[in-house]
Structure formats: C-alpha cells, structure tokens
Amino acid sequence: MLVIKEVVNFRVDHACGQVMSTALELIMLMIKSANLELIMLVIKKCLALELIMLVIKECIFGDDHACDQRVQLWS
C-alpha cells in the first residue's frame, strides 16, 4: 500500500514524458484496484490528476512553454 501511495503522491521532477508515464500508471492503478482506500485517495487527488491531464495535453500538442510552466508549477 505504501508504494501505491507514493505513486499517487508523486511529484514531477523532469520532462513531460515522465508526467505522461506517471499519469498512465496512476490510471492503470485506479482501473486494477478494488481497494476502497486507494480509490478514495485518488479521488482526493483529482485536482492533481486534472493538472496531469493539462500537462499531457500541452505536451502532446507541442506547447513547450506552457508545458514547462506546468511542470515548474508542480515541482
């Protein structure tokens, strides 16, 4: 459970690719888990998840400046 909480409570330290892989990992954990405690933890992190999606969108569509700003804001 500790490892899962660390994934949910991650910080962005490097590039957009890392943000994307972490977001996908988080989504996979939500899908695979029937653990109510984990699901509640993820729900509490909704704002963070929403921010991940914004970062991914900006990274995919090549808005490097906005992407860098989001990553800095998060770090």
Would you say 23 and 53 are in contact if contact means Cβ atoms under 8 Å apart? yes
**pLDDT tier for residue 1 given thresholds of 50, 70 and 90:** very low
The pLDDT value recorded for residue 15 is 44
Distance CA 43, CA 40 (A): 5
pLDDT of 9-61, one tens digit each?
554 444 445 555 666 676 676 667 666 676 666 666 665 666 667 666 666 66
| Token output for 42 | 């993820």
Would you say 12 and 19 are in contact if contact means Cβ atoms under 8 Å apart? yes
The pLDDT value recorded for residue 62 is 58
Domain ranges of the chain: 2-74
Query: Which of residues 72 and 35 earns the better pLDDT score?
Result: 35
pTM equals 0.26
